[in-house]
């Protein structure tokens, strides 16, 4: 292999991903000392190294991130510091051979230094010196100082390392969601100060997902001439059954790997939550942007169990998807019956189809009520009417295993259009004592479906032929916490959402603000309309339905209605006015007829 510094000058390199995530997935619980596994479970550590090299990693990090004096002392292992670090390098070296560079991993001390903490500068220096000496003795090719939260601490570590070796050093900091380190240092200050130190690469790791890391890199890049590195987490962790799961897909990480490279990054890899699947996808992105010029030989295993398949184009997913962006789409909500007789719902679907509606939208336990399975009604509509259906699918009632089973079954039954929602809590409905699952929320479920569309299940194993789901999500332009609503919508789209259906629109100014805000998202929007039936209906929605706001001027118009029929007509007029105001700015309309009055939906769109 070329010397590391020479290889770095030739082009972008790919580092490995998380070690802790892989150990955790294999049943090693977080109350154990991961670093001590170098001595007690060497085969497992080497197996993980091999998987990362097989995925294309040119740099693998030793399992020594926490092998310093203070973190080991918590397990009574401080006297084994040298043995753990030296053995960590030896294990990686045996696997890497001439296929990859071995980076000796050094993390922060885990406790604040004086004056904030009790660790003196002298003790900190001693810990860093002991760890660096042991890593050098093991035969590492370079050192990687990562996930440091304090500028002074990483500067101290660099200084102590440079006293002992001229090996290449990668220095990486981590930041909070405020764009600063825990000690309040900005990316700009980090870049300026660490550029004065004797390091070879400056970068960011951990922190958050790739989108946030890209923002940090864009702030650091203009303030240093050093090569840059970026190792993001696989998104933000979600608590699932007591375990943290990271749901950013490999293809999403790969897309941001391209953006990071285009922003000047020379080394890309992964941190918490990332796996060999993520690194394999990122390696493909690197190859797409530059031909490989290194003599490093990357051997991809012949077993392609985790092969990522490209998701098919939007317009090929369903007849409904094919219309988006090409013609104005009309969709109406069709609730499942409370009993076993679907005839009224089927008759409603027939009326809507004859009136020119492109699809019906079947909700999943709206307001936490028990009704006929929406999948059963969807199948009946498809079989009897050959009409497109958007099937709601919520996270409330099923664990992630049940969700995956449902999704695969839906696809086998011909379902292609999904509206993914978190779901209303049971306490809102008729069964307040019912339990809710919520293994994941709508963001996580979008990610799961996107994986299925790429031929991979939740564990990133192949399912054979990929699914072809159109992934739709909901949004509330009238949300009280509008910024939070937009943040979540952005995450849904980042994780694979392809269509947005909104909550009912009554306030035109707020919807205008919403459309302006999401213009950069570049996803089609179906605006939600609910033709109000009466003043009491509007008052109920405004005061008792979560997320629903009816402006005072709308309430006043309905309150002045002298008869029930007049009120209904006013409700239709309000919906028509709203539709006409925005029809040229949305991809279509999604109408929620009150109390199953499907002819009202037809009346709203008759002028179209």
Has residue 136 got a pLDDT over 70?
yes
Global pTM reads: 0.52
Tell me what pLDDT residue 400 has: 80
Provide the pLDDT for residue 293.
30
Q: Find the DSSP H helices in 433-494.
A: 442-453, 482-494
**pLDDT score at 135:** 97
Residue whose entry in the numeric block shows the structure tokens 């170098």: 38
Q: What is the model's pLDDT at position 355?
A: 94
Listed as own residue / partner, the contacts of 343-347 with beta carbons closer than 8 Å and 24 or more positions apart are: 344/596, 345/377, 345/381, 346/380, 346/381, 346/384, 346/385
Place of tokens 């104005």: 328
At 545-573, the pLDDT tens digits run 666 788 899 999 999 998 989 999 999 99
Whether 207 shows a pLDDT value over 80: the answer reads no
pLDDT above 50 for 429: no
Q: Give the mean model confidence (pLDDT) for residues 196-200.
A: 96
Strand residues in 256-381 grouped as ranges (E): 265-268, 329-333, 359-362
Residue 411 has pLDDT above 70, yes or no: yes
Cα–Cα distance between 336 and 505 in angstroms, integer?
23
- Res 606 pLDDT > 90: no
Least confident of 65-74, 247-256, 370-379: 247-256
The pLDDT score that the predictor gives to residue 447 is 87
Q: What is the pLDDT of residue 478?
A: 87
Mean pLDDT of the chain: 88
Across 353-370, average pLDDT: 83
Task: Find the range with the poorest average confidence among 114-123, 302-311, 341-350, 502-511.
Answer: 302-311
pLDDT at residue 238 greater than cutoff 80: no
**Averaged over 55-67, what is the pLDDT?**
96
Q: Which domains does the chain have, with CATH numbers?
A: 4-289 (3.20.20.330), 327-531+582-600 (3.20.20.220)
Residues 6 or more apart in contact with residue 39 via CB below 8 angstroms: 80, 83, 84, 87
Where do the H-state alpha helices sit in 418-534?
442-453, 482-494, 508-517
- Cross-strand pairs, 206: 232
List CB contacts of 374: < 8 A, sequence separation 6 or more: 336, 362, 363, 364, 365, 391, 392, 393
Q: In which region does residue 272 sit, left (phi positive, over 0), alpha (psi from -120 to 50) or beta (all else)? A: beta
pLDDT tens digit sequence for 142-176: 999 999 999 999 999 999 999 999 999 999 999 98
Residue 191's pLDDT is 95
- First-last CA distance in the chain: 67
Do 378 and 361 touch, CB atoms closer than 8 A? Answer: no
Mean pLDDT of 187-202: 95
Host H or E run for residue 103: strand 101-106
């Amino acid at each position: 292999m070329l010397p590391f510094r020479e290889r770095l000058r030739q082009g972008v390199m790919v580092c490995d991903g998380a070690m802790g995530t892989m150990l955790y997935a294999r049943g090693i619980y977080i109350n154990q000392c991961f670093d001590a596994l170098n001595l007690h479970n060497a085969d497992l550590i080497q197996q993980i190294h091999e998987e990362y090299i097989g995925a294309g990693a040119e740099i693998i990090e030793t399992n020594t991130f926490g092998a310093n004096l203070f973190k080991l002392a918590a397990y009574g292992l401080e006297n084994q510091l040298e043995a753990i670090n030296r053995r960590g390098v030896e294990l990686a070296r045996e696997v890497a051979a001439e296929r990859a560079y071995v980076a000796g991993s050094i993390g922060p001390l885990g406790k604040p230094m004086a004056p904030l903490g009790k660790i003196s500068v002298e003790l900190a220096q001693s810990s860093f010196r002991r760890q660096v000496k042991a890593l050098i003795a093991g035969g590492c090719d370079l050192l990687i100082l990562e996930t440091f939260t304090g500028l002074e601490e990483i500067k101290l570590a660099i200084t102590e390392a440079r006293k002992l070796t001229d090996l290449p050093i990668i220095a990486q900091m981590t930041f909070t969601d405020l764009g600063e380190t825990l000690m309040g240092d900005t990316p700009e200050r980090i870049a300026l100060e660490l550029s004065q130190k004797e390091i070879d690469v400056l970068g960011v790791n951990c922190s958050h997902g790739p989108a946030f890391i890209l923002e940090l890199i864009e702030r650091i890049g203009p303030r240093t001439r050093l090569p840059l590195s970026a190792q993001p987490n696989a998104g933000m962790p979600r608590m699932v059954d007591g375990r943290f799961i990271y749901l950013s897909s490999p293809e999403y990480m790969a897309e941001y790997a391209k953006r990071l490279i285009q922003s000047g990054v020379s080394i890309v890899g992964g941190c918490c939550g990332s796996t060999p699947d993520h690194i394999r996808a990122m390696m493909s992105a690197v190859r797409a942007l530059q031909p490989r010029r290194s003599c490093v030989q990357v051997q991809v295993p012949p077993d392609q169990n985790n092969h990522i398949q490209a998701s098919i184009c939007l317009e090929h997913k369903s007849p409904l998807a094919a219309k988006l962006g090409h013609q104005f789409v009309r969709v109406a909500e069709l609730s499942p019956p409370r009993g076993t007789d679907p005839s009224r719902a089927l008759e409603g679907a027939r009326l809507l189809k004859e009136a020119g509606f492109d699809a019906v939208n079947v909700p999943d336990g709206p307001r936490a009520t028990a009704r006929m399975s929406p999948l059963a009604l969807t199948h009946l509509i498809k079989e009897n009417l050959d009409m497109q259906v958007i099937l709601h699918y919520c996270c409330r009632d099923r664990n992630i295993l049940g969700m995956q089973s449902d999704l695969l079954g839906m696809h086998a039954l011909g379902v292609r259009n999904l509206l993914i929602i978190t779901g209303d809590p049971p306490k809102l409905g008729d069964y307040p004592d019912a339990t809710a699952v919520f293994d994941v929320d709508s963001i996580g479920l979008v990610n799961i479906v996107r994986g299925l569309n790429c031929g991979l299940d939740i564990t990133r194993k192949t399912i054979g032929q990929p699914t072809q789901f159109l992934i739709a999500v909901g949004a509330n332009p009238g949300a009280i916490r509008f910024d939070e609503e937009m943040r979540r919508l952005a995450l849904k789209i980042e994780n694979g959402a392809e269509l947005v259906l909104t909550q009912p629109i009554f306030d035109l100014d707020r919807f205008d603000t919403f459309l302006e805000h999401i213009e950069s998202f570049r996803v089609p929007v179906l605006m939600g309309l609910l033709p109000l039936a009466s003043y009491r209906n509007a008052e109920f929605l405004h005061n008792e339905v979560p997320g629903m706001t009816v402006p005072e001027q709308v309430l006043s118009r309905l309150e002045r209605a002298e008869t029930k029929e007049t009120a209904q007509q006013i409700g239709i007029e309000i919906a028509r006015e709203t539709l006409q105001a925005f029809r040229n700015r949305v991809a279509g309309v999604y109408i929620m007829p009150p109390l199953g009055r499907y002819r009202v939906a037809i009346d709203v769109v008759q002028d179209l």
